[in-house]
Amino acid sequence: MINMKKSMLLAAIAALLVPVCLVSSARGARPARTAPADTLVINTTELCKDVIGYDGPTPLVIKVVNGVVAKVEALPNTESPSYFERVIQGGLLKAVVGKKVSEAAKMKLDAVSGATYSSEAVIENLRAGLAEAARR
Kindly state the average pLDDT of the residues 24-31.
49
pTM: 0.72
State phi, psi for 78 to the nearest 5 degrees. -105, 15
Q: What is the pLDDT of residues 42-94, one digit of tens each?
A: 999 999 999 999 999 999 999 999 999 999 999 999 999 999 999 999 999 99
As a whole number of angstroms, the distance between CA 85 and CA 17 comes to 27
Q: Give the helix/strand (H/E) hosting 3.
A: helix 2-27
Q: Where are the domains of the chain?
A: 1-29, 31-135
So what's the pLDDT on residue 14? 54
Position 25 pLDDT exceeds 50 = no
Fold classified for 31-135: Sufe protein. Chain: A (3.90.1010)
